[in-house]
């Protein structure tokens, strides 16, 4: 229901208006009343009306002054003026202040109901339009995030298809010029993708600046997206290689630590566990765990061949406190136990 506030210094007018509003109780609700403009202004904050019915001639502050002041703070309120025959022309001037309609005194119930039904229809239509616009804004935010995701993952076809979907929605909800709309999308992509690159410590190329494009067209946006994908892929590939080299160096230095984990190395280079696991395998052709085991076995093999360190001490040095586990892993890797390997090397 829409809330209606009454402003009039005549008690009987208040009563008749409330009765008429009550007769339309499924649509409107009387929420407050005032006798002059000053009192009405103070009441607006507390009752938050959708509609205000106000007389023109009142003490303290008249209806027009009240409407002018109220409109500055509450521009969406619908104002209806009550007017006597003698001030009919005066009432017409109120249209300049944003008054929606006026009713003549004495109030004719049929005219009141007709006017309020028209206002109800307008408010409902505005409500629906606002809801659609709000849905469009929410959908657009989702689409922009999805578009950034497609670009990040080099899904050019998906990105192009999504642009067509976004454009289709835009054509149904046009509020700004197309070029400005596309610039807004580009600005979002520029900002979102740079942030992702920074989060992965990827170098952002000097020419990765798209948000200053003016009067961009749909075809230009698609071309820019293709360029974005190429630059991001190149930067990610370079960044991945650099990160994996750092990771391998870190593992070379810390493999004796038995608790060394994928998470430790991922934290060291500043990326997520999942991203590190995937890129490590892509760059090295082998999973993290297998690489770490092979690294430890290689170091153990070198120690067994070139030193007199006892085999259990070799196990400790390469990150195994459990010697039987070390021995089994060594044999699985080289086909010999650590002792057998050392014996063969010493005899050769």
Q: Are 142 and 154 in contact (CB under 8 A)?
A: no
Is 47 exposed, middle or buried, given 0-12, 13-18 or 19+ CB atoms closer than 10 A? middle
Alpha carbon distance 78, 273 (integer Å): 57
Measured CA to CA in angstroms, residue 98 lies from 74, 92, 121, 195 at distances of 11, 11, 18, 46
Higher per-residue pLDDT: 25 or 328: 328
Q: How confident is the model at residue 86 (pLDDT cuts 50, 70, 90)?
A: low
- Calculate the dihedral angle through the C-alpha atoms of 324, 328, 331, 333, rounding to the nearest 10 degrees: -130
Q: How confident is the model at residue 87 (pLDDT cuts 50, 70, 90)?
A: low
Q: What is the mean pLDDT of residues 13-40?
A: 89
Rg, the chain, Cα only: 38
Q: Are 34 and 6 in contact (CB under 8 A)?
A: yes
Tokens of 258: 């038995």
Higher per-residue pLDDT: 338 or 85: 338
Largest CA distance in the chain: 125
Find where tokens 């829409």 sit. 2
Residues of the chain with CATH 1.10.10.60: 256-347
Q: How confident is the model at residue 93 (pLDDT cuts 50, 70, 90)?
A: low
Look up residue 255 and give its DSSP letter. Answer: T
Residues of the chain with CATH 3.40.50.2300: 2-107
* pLDDT tens-place string over residues 233-246: 666 655 677 788 88
Query: pLDDT at residue 116 above 70?
Result: yes
Query: pLDDT at residue 255 above 90?
Result: yes
* pLDDT tens-place string over residues 321-335: 999 999 999 999 999
Query: Per residue in 15-46, is it b (16+ CB within 10 Å) or e — as a string?
Result: ebbeebbeebeebbebbbbbbbbbbbbebbee
Measured CA to CA in angstroms, residue 228 lies from 156, 159, 232 at distances of 10, 11, 6
* CATH architecture, domain 256-347: Orthogonal Bundle (1.10)
Query: pLDDT at residue 187 above 80?
Result: no
- Pairing verdict, β 101-104 and 78-83: parallel
CATH of 2-107, one of 3.30.2310.20, 3.40.50.970, 3.40.50.2300, 3.20.20.70: 3.40.50.2300
Query: pLDDT at residue 28 above 90?
Result: yes
Q: How far is CA 15 from the centre of its chain?
A: 50
């Amino acid at each position: 229901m829409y809330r209606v506030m009454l402003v009039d210094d005549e008690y009987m007018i208040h009563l008749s208006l409330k009765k008429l509003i009550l007769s339309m109780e499924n649509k409107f609700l009387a929420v407050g009343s005032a006798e002059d403009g000053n009192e009405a202004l103070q009441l607006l904050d507390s009752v938050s009306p959708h509609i205000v019915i106000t007389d023109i001639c009142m003490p303290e502050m008249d209806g027009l002054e009240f409407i002018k002041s109220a409109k500055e703070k509450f521009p969406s309120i619908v104002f209806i003026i009550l007017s006597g025959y003698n001030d009919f022309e005066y009432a017409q001037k109120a249209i300049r202040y944003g008054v929606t309609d006026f009713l003549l005194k004495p109030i004719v119930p049929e005219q009141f109901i007709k006017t309020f039904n028209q206002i109800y229809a307008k408010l409902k239509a505005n409500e629906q339009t606002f809801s659609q616009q709000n849905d469009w804004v929410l959908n657009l935010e989702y689409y922009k995030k999805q578009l950034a995701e497609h670009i990040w993952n080099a899904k050019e076809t998906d990105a192009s298809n999504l642009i067509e979907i976004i454009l289709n929605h835009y054509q149904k909800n046009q509020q700004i010029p197309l070029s400005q709309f596309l610039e807004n999308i580009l600005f979002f992509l520029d900002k979102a993708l740079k942030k992702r690159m920074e989060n992965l410590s990827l170098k952002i190329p000097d020419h990765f600046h798209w948000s200053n494009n003016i009067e961009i067209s749909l075809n230009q946006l698609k071309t820019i997206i293709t360029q974005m994908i190429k630059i991001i892929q190149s930067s990610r590939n370079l960044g991945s290689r650099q990160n994996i080299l750092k990771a391998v160096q870190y593992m070379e230095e810390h493999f004796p630590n038995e608790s060394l984990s994928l998470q430790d190395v991922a934290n060291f280079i500043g990326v997520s566990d999942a991203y590190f696991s995937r890129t490590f395998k892509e760059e090295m052709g082998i999973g993290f765990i297998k690489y770490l085991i092979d690294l430890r076995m290689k170091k153990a093999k070198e120690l067994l061949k070139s030193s007199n360190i006892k085999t259990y001490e070799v196990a400790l040095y390469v990150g195994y406190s459990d010697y039987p586990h070390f021995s089994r892993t060594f044999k699985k890797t080289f086909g010999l136990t650590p002792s057998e390997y050392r014996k063969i090397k010493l005899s050769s």
